[in-house]
Chain A
Amino acid sequence: MNPTPDAFQAAPPLVEMRDIDKSYGGVPVLKRAHLTVGRGEIHGLVGENGAGKSTLVKILDGEVQRDAGEVTWLGERPSLQSRADAARLGITMIHQELNLAPHLTVAQNISLGHEPRLRGRLAGTIDRRREVAEAHASLERLGFNLDPRTPVRRLSPAKRQMVEIARAVVRATRLVIMDEPTSSLSAPEVEELFQVVRQLQARGTAVIFVSHRMEELARICDRVTVLRDGETVQEGPMPRRDFAELIRAMVGRELKDFYPPRNCRPGEVVLRVEGLTRQPHFEDVTFELRRGEIVGLAGLMGAGRTEVVETVFGGAAAERGRIVIDGEPVAIRSPQDAIRHGLALLTEDRKRTGLALGLPVAHNITLANLGTTIRSGCLDLGKEETMARDLIQRLRIRARSARQKVGRLSGGNQQKVVLAKWLLRQARIFMFDEPTRGIDVGAKTEIYREMNALAESGAAILMVSSELPEILGMTDRVFVMRAGRIVKELVTARTTQEGIMRYATLSEKENARAS
């Protein structure tokens, strides 16, 4: 639990983060987290979605300020108030969304912010010849096959990462942090990246490699740290073959008993999705939903789950596939069509697609169902307020009045407003995308209770969730997605968190070997 470094080690490690605390708006994301990386070491950082990996490395990069704890760098305690501080130490973070200027050339990106200047008469202007020569030299040294004069926008994602890495090397970096670097790469590109990482290591640069993909980590990492719910639960050498223990450490959480019990009596099939494809997000997705059941859609972030429900709801167009409701094939070209067929989608990002934050609670609740409040051609504001108040009371939404702006409510109450909108609409097929993300425990329980009530009243529910205990506690069946495909259907009662995680993280080959 408390992986303190070896006190007798001759030299201090490159970086040591100890007892790091961080919370956002009262919700803790890191709780006494630890991370120790040795000089020239390739260190894996793993954990479920929301375990706190990104926050931890952002603290190291100076982007996020820790609430408590200490960071030592080669035995010293540097200031990490900003990314400039981190850069001075020689820490470079390569982001999931790359920080390159696409219209500039490779050389210009590498020298960005540190452009070589001309002397003499044109003092101060950029020395373009030297800029290219320097970029060329550093690319050469790294063995990268890149023309420094190419505009970055013409490069593949893997090549762009090379540019970022070259930039890091030019600035005498001691530690490179890579946040999910392989998520946008093809298999050969991953190989290229690994070679680069090994070259960095050969030059004495340490690398923190944040990833979900066990096989990749096993090939490249020396040691690994596992985060779970913001705590460091395991630290040690990276296993080469058997990941069972690692996966257990990632998910090993107590199944809390706030999942209310429910009788599942599945009825006839109401929604059938056949061969739905939308490249590059997902392909050939087929599943069924029955009346009265709650079905989970599990998988890692980026597996394509959100895109699937979005597409079923008409938010984006599918390339292929059929949607069948009550045995009839239907054409869903917009959310409007979906709603007409009895579908409801509680989106993953309620601020972006779920709520009009600047408008009153009542207006948000009636938004999908304004027709019922219209009497002889105009809105019946009294009736609207009564309907809104009923739902505010039923879902125990903590708002000062139906006229309070939704943006002023807490996350849990905002989510209840979204739910109220679809309850008022009397939808029959509900898709919940991460329904309890970022909300407090009380609101969570109430949302679970409503979901159960809905299922018992005959609604069909599909729940996308990254929280495995939630999947296990709430659903009857689970579909597991990995890299855009449904790889497994499981009966919830007969599976475990490890079982789901295995399908979500390992390729078929690995799974066959594991079982």
Chain B
Amino acid sequence: METIPSEAPLTRAPAALEERASLRDWMERVLPYASVVVLFIVLSILSPYFLTLQNLSSVCRQTAVITIIGLGMTLVMISGGIDISVGSVMAFAGICGTMLLQAGWPLTAAVAGAVVGGAAWGLVNAFVITVLKVSPFIATLGTMGAARGVTLVITNGMPVVNLPASFGRLGDGNILRVPVPLVILVLLALLTGFILKYTRMGRYSYVIGSNAEAARYAGVPVRKYLVAIYVFCGALTGLAGMIEASRLVTGQPTAGTGYELSVIAAVVIGGASLSGGEGTVAGTIAGAFLMGLISNGSNLLGVSPFWQQVLIGTIIVLAVAVDELRKRRRTS
């Protein structure tokens, strides 16, 4: 960019060293995108069925739910937090929405109800984290159990059925041959990207995650923004719960079990740091689609779904290990 001349400070990394570091940074940044592209090409070669419209749109529908939750999780993780309650909250919201549909509410109102239901759990998470000062991991571990329990109590463990057939369009419909969940995902991704770049909420998320004390000493109302961040994540999770319910035209109280693992994996693979201050929308989308492709590819190639779980677990650990290595290098 622009150099401002001044006397040289005492400590300054030699230019060559700095260049090498930035090259490495760049490679780490493009890694998730490159992996998606490579995997895409490999699967098109290995499976004749992969490149069909039907298969690709199914990948999109499957991945959209994880990605939408991932957008909220991106904000949470940028702010230095984590939300492992998303799987349970998603089921809770799906049940809320489908029960409203059953009661005769129109689709949009029922979806709004699910969003509010998800946001309510976000508020609970934020309360436990900012007022009771419980660490985000433990706080959301608690709500993960509580939300699942409440969902099972409400439904008595039975799925919500007898829903209007038109409900299925939310998850399985198309707009101009584009799957509806993908359309929703694109709109939400644009919204989240805008929030991150152009609003106080986004900027403060990065600052709180990078250094919460510095944020406080600069007069940032840290608590208020943490509430907004967790509520946002809860709301998106609620919407995702409705999309998931729509794909089966059923409200499943056990929906979303284990989704937190995939969502967190997506965000971390996308370059967010578990210690906060880093993360992007594009990265999260790439991370989610990378896992969507792995899962789809395994199915097409006949790999057992049990092995897929092992694979996802391994990937999440590797992604975090890479993040830790990067941090250690930076501080040394």
Contacts and interface: CB of A to CB of B under 8 A. Distances in A.
B220 A367 contact: yes
B12 to A, nearest CB: 6
B218 A400 contact: no
Nearest to A443: B9
B215 interface: yes
A313 interface: yes
B149 to A, nearest CB: 34
B198 A363 contact: no
B6 A25 contact: no
Interface in B200-219: 200, 203-204, 206-207, 210-211, 213-219
Contact of A440 (B9, B198, B204, B221): B9
Contact of A421 (B6, B11, B218): B218
B53 interface: no
Given A398-B9, A410-B12, A356 B206 contact: yes
A238 interface: no
B175 interface: no
A356 B277 contact: yes
Interface stretch (A10-18, A269-277, A389-397): A389-397
A433 to B, nearest CB: 11
B6 A398 contact: yes
Contacts of B207: 356, 359, 363, 367
A27 to B, nearest CB: 6
A347 to B, nearest CB: 6
Given A378-B198, A379-B198, A379-B199, A400 B3 contact: yes
Interface string B1-26: 11110111111100000100000000
B29 interface: no
Contact of A26 (B3, B4, B10, B210): B10
A347 B217 contact: yes
A319 B219 CA distance: 22
B12 A393 contact: no
B218 A411 contact: no
A353 B214 contact: yes
Contacts of B211: 352-353, 355-357
A345 B3 CA distance: 29
A116 interface: no
Contacts of A396: 4, 6
A261 interface: no
A440 B10 contact: yes
A347 B221 CA distance: 18
Contacts of A356: 206-207, 210-211, 214-215, 277
A363 B6 contact: no
A315 B217 contact: yes
Contacts of B6: 396-398, 442
Contacts of A443: 9
Contact of A381 (B1, B198, B330): B198
Contacts of A355: 211, 214
A358 B323 CA distance: 14
A368 B200 contact: no
A25 B217 contact: no
A319 to B, nearest CB: 21
Contacts of A377: 199
Which of A374, A378, A411: most chain B CB closer than 10 A? A378
A336 B219 contact: yes
A266 to B, nearest CB: 28
A264 B9 CA distance: 31
Contact of A25 (B1, B11, B198, B215): B11
Contacts of B197: 379, 381
A335 interface: yes
Given A356-B277, A359-B207, A336 B221 contact: yes
A410 B11 contact: yes
Contacts of B2: 389, 400-401
B83 interface: no
Interface in A10-56: 25-27
Nearest to A363: B203
A347 B213 CA distance: 11
A401 B1 contact: yes
Which of A353, A401, A403: most chain B CB closer than 10 A? A353
B9 A339 contact: no
Interface in B207-242: 207, 210-211, 213-221
A157 B61 CA distance: 62
Interface string A362-398: 0100011010001001110100000001001100111
B16 to A, nearest CB: 15
Contact of A378 (B199, B213, B214): B199
B200 A392 contact: no
B244 interface: no
A354 interface: yes
Contacts of B221: 336
A438 to B, nearest CB: 10
B278 interface: yes
A335 B219 contact: yes
A378 B214 CA distance: 23
A392 B4 contact: yes
A503 to B, nearest CB: 30
B310 to A, nearest CB: 33
Contacts of A400: 1-3
A442 B9 contact: yes
15 contacts: A353-B213, A355-B211, A363-B207, A374-B200, A379-B200, A396-B4, A397-B6, A398-B6, A401-B2, A407-B330, A410-B11, A410-B12, A411-B9, A440-B9, A443-B9
Given A347-B217, A397-B6, A398-B8, 4 more contacts: A334-B216, A335-B217, A356-B206, A379-B200
